[in-house]
Copies of this chain bind each other. A is one copy, B any other.
C-alpha cells in the first residue's frame, strides 16, 4: 500500500460526517496497491495473464467532471418531507453523493463507474440518526410511493445496492452510517446491542475497549457494516470459531410500515418459521434493519495463525476435512491451491513473509520429500483461546497435517497474512488500471462434492477463457469449514478486450453453472442481489424461489423495499 494523491471528485460530499469509500474504487482515498517492492509480482502476472505491469497504466481513476450523471427526480414535497424527518443537512441530492450510493464494488460496478454507465442513480441520499427517523422515512415512502435502498459501507459485490434500471419512482438511498454505535454489552450473557450502520473497525474498537470481540472478519471488514452483513448472510474469516453472521445474530430490530419487528436476543427457540433467518439474507426486501443483538466473545488470551505447506491441493483439502472431523477446534482453516500459493509468494516482499520463508533450505526439504514445487499449497490455520487450548490445538492439527504429508512453517507468515488480509481488493483496482478484469465467485458444498466441483469449475472456466480468447488465471482456496462441508473461494483474472463485462459474464456464468451442477450453492457469503439472482431457482428449486418471491410480494405489495433484489423481480 502506498499513499497517493487523492483522486477525489471536485467538491466534497455535502452530507454528514459518514465514511465512504472512493467513489470510483475500493477503499480509502490515497491508498493503493503497488508492485515495485515485490519483484516477483510483475513476472507472475505476465506469465499468468499476459499483462505487463511495467507498461504505463492504460486507464486510471476517471475524472468526475467527465461523467454524465442523470438528474435527480427528487421533488420538493419529498425533499421537504425527508428534511422534516432528518434535518436538511442529512438529505443530500448532489451528484457525488448519488454516485457513491449507486453501486457496490463488484467488477460490474467498477467497470460501469469507470465507463460512466449510470442507467439509474438514486435521486437522494438520506442519513437517519435514529430508528424513529427510519420509521418516519418508511412512513414517508408509503405516503409518497418511494423506493428505499438501505446502504451500509457500500462494499456489496452482488448488485444489491443499485436501483432497478427501469424504476420510475423516486429512489432513496438510505445510508445507515450515522447509526454506528455499540449501544450496550450484556457481559453476563455475551451479547452486544449494536446499530446496523456500524462498520467493522468501529464495532471492534468499541467492543475491544471493554475486552470483547464480535469475531466477524469478512474480507470487506474495514468498509462493511453489521446491517449489511446480516442483510447478505455474511461470513467472516474466523467463522470456524465464531460462526457465520447467521449464528452470531441473536436479536434484530427491523422497521416495517406496520411497525418494528422486534426479535429479542435468544440463544435458541422453537418459534418458527424463523423470522431471524428470514431477515438474514433479505437484502432490504423485508424492511430496514436498524439494530442487531450479536453474540460477542471475550478477547482470547492467545491468538495465533500458523502457516503450513502441503504437497498437493487434494492433500490440503483432505487435511482441512480431517481437522473438521477431529476434536480440534481452530478459528481459521484455510488452504490455497498452487496458483494462489504462487500468487501469495509473488506478492510478498523479498525480505519478508512467505517468499523469505520458502528459502533454499525449505525448497530443498520439499524436493527431498519428492514434492513438485509447482504444486505446493500454502495453508493458514488460526487458533484462539487460553494458552493451553491454543497449544493443544496446534498439536492436534500438527498431527493431522503430517498425516496428510504437510508440514508447518511457523508463525511469521501468519502474522503478515493477518496484517494484510483486508488489502486484496485494492489489488483489483490496480489490475484494472492495467487493462485487467478480476472478480471472485465462492460457494459451499458437502465435503464429498468439493473435489469434483473444483475440477469442474477449472474445466468450465478454461472453456470460458478459450471462448472469449484470453489467457485467464483461476485461483482457489478453501476458506470456511463446517461439519458437512466447506466454502471454496475462486478468484479469476484476465486481460480484457473492448467488451470487458461481456467477457466477464461468460466466465462468471461458467463458474456459477459449475457450482450448481456439482451440488454447490450460488454463493457462500456474498449474497444474491442481482448478480446471483439468475441462479436462485437452480439453488433452491423453482418452487423454493417461488416461495421467496411470494414472501416479498405479499409483505411489500407497494414494492418499497429494494425491489428486484434476490429474486430479480
Contact = CB atoms under 8 A, between A and B. Distances in A.
Interface residues of A, number: 92
Contacts of A265: 446, 484, 519
A132 to B, nearest CB: 15
Contacts of A232: 270, 272
A191 interface: yes
Interface stretch (A6-14, A306-314, A463-471, A541-549): A541-549
A483 B190 CA distance: 7
B269 A521 contact: yes
A423 interface: no
Contacts of A283: 272
A448 interface: yes
A270 B186 contact: no
Contacts of A445: 266-267
Contacts of A297: 483
A558 to B, nearest CB: 14
Nearest to A255: B543
B528 A271 contact: yes
A526 B327 CA distance: 31
A401 interface: no
A149 B526 CA distance: 38
Contacts of A38: none
A386 B527 contact: no
B268 A272 contact: no
A446 to B, nearest CB: 4
Interface stretch (A84-92, A273-281, A339-347, A489-497): A273-281
A441 to B, nearest CB: 12
A354 B246 CA distance: 41
Interface stretch (A201-209, A256-264, A454-462, A501-509): A256-264
A120 interface: no
Contacts of A272: 232-233, 277-278, 280-283, 527-528, 566
25 contacts: A186-B446, A189-B447, A189-B485, A232-B272, A233-B269, A233-B271, A233-B272, A235-B268, A258-B543, A261-B547, A267-B445, A267-B486, A267-B487, A268-B480, A268-B521, A268-B525, A269-B524, A270-B525, A271-B521, A271-B523, A273-B279, A273-B548, A275-B547, A276-B277, A329-B329
Q: Which 10 A-B pairs have the closest CB atoms?
A: A272-B281, A277-B277, A554-B554, A267-B485, A267-B482, A189-B446, A188-B448, A233-B270, A259-B543, A269-B521
Interface of A: 186, 188-191, 232-235, 244, 246, 250, 254, 256, 258-283, 286, 295, 297-298, 325, 327, 329, 385-386, 388-389, 392, 444-449, 480, 482-487, 519-528, 532, 536, 539-544, 546-548, 550-551, 553-555, 566
